[in-house]
Amino acid sequence: MTAQTHTTGPVTTVYKVTGMSCGHCEGSVSGEISQIPGVSSVKAVASTGEVTVVSEAPLDEEAVRAAVDEAGFELAGQA
């Protein structure tokens, strides 16, 4: 058996969020997701519905879903 090495460093995940239509929407989604522990940056783009999240470790999708819901939008899943 070979030993597995765990790489440390940021994890980037792209999610699809439905319902965003403007900069205010982007800010609401980004603000809620950025409060999840371990998240270092969030970039939401209303025109594509994509939200790019950089975190210390993979995030629990239910935590992301709850944050997006709190912002008033719907998480469609990972892009």
Chain segment 58-77, per-residue pLDDT in tens: 999 999 999 999 999 999 99
pLDDT, one tens digit per residue, over 30-46 is: 999 999 999 999 999 99
Outline where the chain has alpha helix (H): 23-33, 61-70
Mean pLDDT of the chain: 93
pLDDT band at 6 (very low <50, low <70, confident <90, very high): low
- CB contact at 8 A, 42 and 52: yes
Judge whether residue 2 has pLDDT over 90.
Answer: no
Query: What DSSP character marks residue 15?
Result: E
pLDDT of residue 29: 98
As given in the structure block, the two tokens for residue 18 are: 């439905």
